[in-house]
Structure 1
Amino acid sequence: MKQQKIRYPKLRFKGFSGEWGQRKFKNLYKKVVEKNDLSFGTERIISVANMYYKPNDSKSDEKYMETYNVFRVGDIAFEGHKSKNFSYGRFVENTIGDGIISHVFDVFRPISEYDLSYWKYFIHYEGIMGQKLRMSTTKATMMNNLVSKDFLKQSVLVPNLDEQKKIGIFLKQLDTLITLHQRKLDNLKKLKKSYLQKLFPKNGEKVPKLRFPGFTDAWEQRKLGEEFKKVNERNDGSLGREDWISVSKMYFQDPEKVQSNNIDTRTYVMRKGDIAFEGHHNKNFKFGRFVANDIGTGVVSELFPIYRHKNVYDNSYWKNAIQIERIMAPIFAKSITTSGNSSNKLNSKHFLRQKIYIPNVKEQQQIGTFFQQLDNLITFQQHKLDKLKELKKAYLQKMFC
C-alpha cells in the first residue's frame, strides 16, 4: 500500500494542527514585466544578490534606465548563479522597499495573501526549492536559466496566513539574533586589527604607538637570521596521519582525508613555535604569509619551508607579528621569488638577512597574552555564531515541509 505523504512539518507552534494546503506557484505568483517609467532613479537600484540599494554611480541615460524591471516589496526575483549552497540558482524576495533591478532577472509578484517574512525564508530554502528549480531551469555556461511556465507548474505545501506569520516572526527574530552576534564578531575583529596597528611599530619606527605600563625601551632591530634558523627535520616514523597539519588553517587534519602515501619521508616535522611559509597570495597577503604553529608537534608537506626560533620567545606574540602585512611585505619583497600564478617561493638566505624590530621577551609576553585573550574572545563569539546558524538550519528543516 502506498504510504501517504505527510502534509505538515515536524515542528509547529501551539494551536496549529491542520494539514498544509498544496498550491501551485501559478496560484501564488504571477510573472510581471513592469518596466521603469523613470519613477525610479539610480538611487533605487537594488542588488538582487545581497538585497540592498546599490546606487549606480555612472549616470545612465533615460533610455537605459527604462530597461530596468520594477521590483516591489513582496516580489521575488530569480538569481541564476549556482553555488555550493544553491545547485540551480535561487529566488530572493524583496523585503527592503520598491526599486528597480536589471532586466536579466525574472520577477514574480504575489497574487494571494502572504506573510513577507515567511516567504523570504521559504522561497530561499534550498531543501525545498532546490528540487523545484531542478525541474524548471536549464543550464547555461555561467548560470541557470529559469523556464517560467515550468516553475509556475510546480507545487508546494503552504500553511494558512496565521501560521505563516508565526513562522515568519520566529525566523526573523532568529536572524536578528544572528545579525547581532555577527556584528559583535566583526567589531572584535576590527578591534584586533586596530590593536595590531598600535601595538607594533610603524615602518621605520622603533617603538609602537601604544605600550603596556612599565615598558619604555626602544625595540631592537635584528636580522631575522639572529632570531630564526631554517630546519629540515624529517619524520622518523613516530608521527603518522593523525599528526598531519593543515598549514593554511593550522589544525590537525582528519587522518582519513590525508592523501599522502609518503608520511615518513616526504614531510617535515613542525614543532610548536615553528613558523611555516605558505606561498599562496591573495588580497590580504600580497606575497604569501607565515603561519605559526600553536597547536603542537606534527608533520607538514615538504613544500612548506620551516623556521625555528633560536632564542627565548613568546609564541602568541610571533603568531601575530608575522601576520602583519605592513611589517612582512617589505621583507617578502626582498626575499620572494615568484613561481606560477598563485604561489610564491621564499629565498631563505635573503629572508634571514632582512631586519625587523623586536621587543624584549617580557614585552613580547605582555603583547602575546593580550592578543591570546582577544583571540579567545573572537573564537568564542565565532562559536556562538556558528551554533546559531546551525540552529537556524535545523529549524528550517523542521518548520517547512
Structure 2
Amino acid sequence: MTEQAKVPAIRFAGFTDPWEQRKLGELFFESNERSSSMEILSVSVAKGIYPASESDRDTNPGASLVNYKVVHKGDVVYNSMRMWQGAVGSSDYDGIVSPAYVVARPTIELDSTCFGYLLKRPEMLYKYLCDSQGNSKDTQTLKYDRFADIEATMPANLEEQRAISACLESVDHLITLHQRKYDKLVIFKKSMLEKMFPKDGESVPEIRFAGFTDPWEQRELVDIAEIVGGGTPDTNNSNYWDGDIDWYAPAELGNNIYAESSTRKITQAGFDSCSTKMLPADKTILFTSRAGIGNTAILRHSACTNQGFQSLVIGDADVYFVYSMSERIKKWAEEKASGSTFLEISGRQLETMPVNLPSLVEQQAIGSFFSHLDDLITLHQRKLELLQNIKKSLLDKMFA
C-alpha cells in the first residue's frame, strides 16, 4: 500500500503539495563564528531571542565575550541542555550569544520563524529528549550531530512557510498584548490595595473616595466575622460520600475568586457524622488555615469544608471589602501560625486579628471598586487562556 502523503489538518488556500520529511542537518549547519563586537542577545524560552537589557548584561560584568557566538537574523538558536523543554527559537536580530548555546544557520532559503514554531512542537521536544545524552534530565545534552539527525516534516514551499509564520505571529502579538494589559491591571490592583487601606499605625488610607473623611475604627476580626472550622466524614464509609452537599478541601481553591462547586460531595449522613458546619452562600469567605495558609474564595452556594479551613462568615460588613483584605489576613495568619508538623492558624487566633474598618457605606464603595477591578483582571486572564489554547491548537493542526 502506498504511504499517504503528509499534510496538515489546516492549510491555507492555494497550497496543495505534500510536505517533505527532511533531516534538520539538511536544512541547517552548526555555526561557530565568534566575535565580541556585536550586541549581546538574550535567549528566553518564553520570549524568544532579543537584545539583552542593561540588567541582563550587568549580571556578569567581567565576563569575556571573546568566545561568544555570532547570531545572524534568521539563525536558529537552542540551549543544548534545555532543548527538550523548548529552549529553541529563531532570531530576528544580529548579535552574539553565550557559548552554551548552539547556533544553527540555514543551508537553504527558508522561513526561520516558521521553523522556530515547528521546532517547539511537543513531538519534536520528545525527539530531543530521546536523543539527548546524560544521566538525568538536568544534565541531558543535545549535541548538534544528534540534532542534525532528527527528522521533521516541513512545507517545501517558502510562501506556505511564511503564511504559517504570519498567522502564528499574529496570535503571539495578541497574547503579548493581553499579557501586558493583565500585568498592568495586577500591578495597579496591588498599588491600590496598599493605598486604599490604612498603613500600620494609621487611621486613614492614602486614597479615599470623595465624601468620606471619618477615621477608620480599629476592631478585631471577630467583630465582623464568625470563624468556622470544618471536618471530614469517615472516608471508608460509602454512605457518607457522593451526595449532594458541597464539601471543600484546600487544594480546590487555587486562584479562583469564587467557589462555585466542590470536587467531592457528601451526603446528609456524612454531614451529620462529623464536625463540619454548613456555611452560607455569598456571606462566607473560605480561608485555608494549614499547609498553605491564606488561600481564599467567596462561597457562591451553601457548602461545608474539611478541617483545613477557618472560614469567615461575614456579619455586619461588606463581603468583598473583607475579601479584598485577603493578603493582609494571610500575612498576619502566617506570622501567628504555629505547629511542629505543619504551620496552622486556629480559629481563636484568627478572631483576634486587628482590622481597620470604615463605615459600611465606604466599605461597599471599596468592595465594589475591587470587584470591578478583579472582573477586568479575570477577563484578560480568560482571553489570555483562550488565545493560548488557540495557539496550541494551531500548532497542532498547521503542521503535519
TM-score range (shorter-chain normalised) is 0.7 to 0.9
How high is the TM-score relative to the length of structure 1? 0.82
Q: Residues 107 and 169 of structure 1: is their aligned pair in 2 closer, same or farther, counting only changes over 3 Å? A: same
Letter in structure 2 aligned against 1:44: I
Find out whether 1:335 has 2:336 as its counterpart.
yes
Aligned match of 2:97 in 101, 115, 125?
A: 101
Equivalent residue for 1:295? 300
RMSD across aligned positions (CA): 3.1
Shift of 1:161: 0.7
Contact residue 68 and residue 103 of structure 1 kept, 8 A: yes
CA distance in 2, matches of 1:120, 1:57: 27
Offset of 1:334 from its aligned partner? 5.6
1:189 aligns with 2:186: yes
Tell me the distance in 2 between the aligned counterparts of 1:338 and 1:16.
66
CA drift of 1:157 comes to 2.0
Aligned to 1:71: 71
Provide the rounded CA distance (Å) in 1 between the counterparts of 2:145 and 2:193.
56
Whichever residue aligns with residue 89 of structure 1, its letter is Q
- Which deviates further from its counterpart, 181-190 or 132-141? 132-141
Query: Paired residue for 2:247, among 244, 255, 268?
Result: 244
Aligned partner of residue 145 in structure 1, secondary structure: coil
Q: Secondary structure at the match of 1:384?
A: helix
Paired residue type of 1:67: N
Give, in angstroms, the shift of residue 11 of structure 1.
1.3
**What is the total number of aligned residue pairs between the two structures?**
375
Q: Which amino acid aligns with 1:302?
A: Q
1:109-139 Cα distance to aligned partner (Å, 9 max, x none): 211111132122112222x413432442234
State which drifts further: 208-217 or 348-357.
348-357
Match of 1:276 in 2: 287
Q: Letter of the 2:36 partner, please give it.
A: L
Question: Which residue in 1 is equivalent to 2:168?
Answer: 171
Residue matched to 1:151: 147
Secondary structure of 1:12's match?
coil
Partner of 2:310: 305
In the other structure, the counterpart of 2:237 is none
Long gaps (5+) in structure 1: 282-287
Gaps of 5+ in 2: 234-239
Question: For structure 1, which segment, 202-211 or 140-149, has the greater mean C-alpha deviation from structure 2 after superposition?
Answer: 140-149
Tell me if structure 2 keeps the 8 A contact 1:315–1:368: yes
1:117 to 101, 109, 113: 113
Cα deviation 1:167-195 (Å, max 9, x = unaligned): 11111112111211222222222222222
Matched, 1:265 2:274: yes
Kindly indicate whether the alpha-carbon contact (under 8 Å) linking 2:81 and 2:141 is maintained by their aligned counterparts in 1. no
Give the Cα–Cα distance (whole angstroms) in 1 for the partners of residues 89 and 241 of structure 2.
56
Secondary structure of 1:345's partner? Answer: coil
The aligned amino acid for 1:58 is: N
TM superposition shift of 1:270: 4.4
Aligned pairs (5 A) from 1:319-398:
319-324=323-328, 329=331, 331-332=332-333, 335-337=336-338, 339=340, 344-398=343-397
Counterparts of 1:118 and 1:29, CA distance in 2:
14
Tell me the CA shift for residue 279 of structure 1: 4.2
Q: Secondary structure at the match of 2:117?
A: helix
Deviation at 1:6, TM superposition (A): 3.3
Identity of aligned residues (%): 29
C-alpha distance 133-219 of structure 1, shift in aligned 2 (>3 A): same
Inter-partner Cα distance in structure 2 for 1:347 and 1:255: 25
Deviation at 1:318, TM superposition (A): 0.8
Q: In the alignment, which of 195, 199, 203 is matched to residue 200 of structure 2?
A: 203
Partner Cα distance (1:297, 1:207) in 2: 35
Q: Is the 8 A contact 1:115 1:164 kept in 2?
A: yes
Residue 223 (structure 1) aligns with = 220
For the residues of structure 2 that align with 1:151 and 1:235, how far apart are their CA atoms? 54
Q: Distance in 2 between matches of 1:290 and 1:399?
A: 40
8 A Cα contact 1:45 1:56, kept in partner:
no
How far apart are the structure 1 equivalents of 2:392 and 2:23?
25
Q: Which whole-Å CA distance do the structure 1 matches of 2:330 and 2:192 have between them?
A: 17
1:205 partner SS: coil
Residue correspondence of structure 1 range 49-88 to structure 2 within 5 A: 49=45, 50=47, 51-52=49-50, 53=52, 54-62=56-64, 65-79=65-79, 88=84
More moved, 353-362 vs 70-79: 70-79
- Does structure 1 conserve the Cα–Cα contact (< 8 Å) formed by 2:261 and 2:301? no
| 1:48 Cα offset (Å) | 4.1
1:78–1:143 Cα change, 3 Å: farther
Per-residue CA deviations over 1:9-39 (Å, capped at 9, x if unaligned) read: 121112111112222111101122233x322
SS of the equivalent of 1:293 reads strand
Q: Pick from 89, 92, 108: which aligns with 2:88?
A: 92
Deviation at 1:244, TM superposition (A): 3.4
Asked if structure 2 preserves the Cα contact closer than 8 Å seen for 1:80 and 1:143, the reply is no
8 Å contact 1:274–1:293 — kept in the other structure?
A: yes
Distance across 1 between alignment mates of 2:80 and 2:294: 36
Distance 1:129 1:240, change over 3 A: same
Q: For the Cα contact (< 8 Å) 1:334–1:351, is it kept in 2?
A: no
Partner of 1:284: none
* Distance in 2 separating the partners of 1:243 and 1:179: 38
Partner AA of 1:73 in structure 2: K
* Deviation for aligned residue 1:196: 1.4
What is the CA distance between 1:301 and its match in structure 2?
A: 2.6
> Is the 1:74–1:93 contact (alpha carbons within 8 Å) kept by the matching residues of 2?
no
Q: 1:301 to 1:106 in 2, by over 3 A?
A: farther
CA drift at 1:231:
2.4
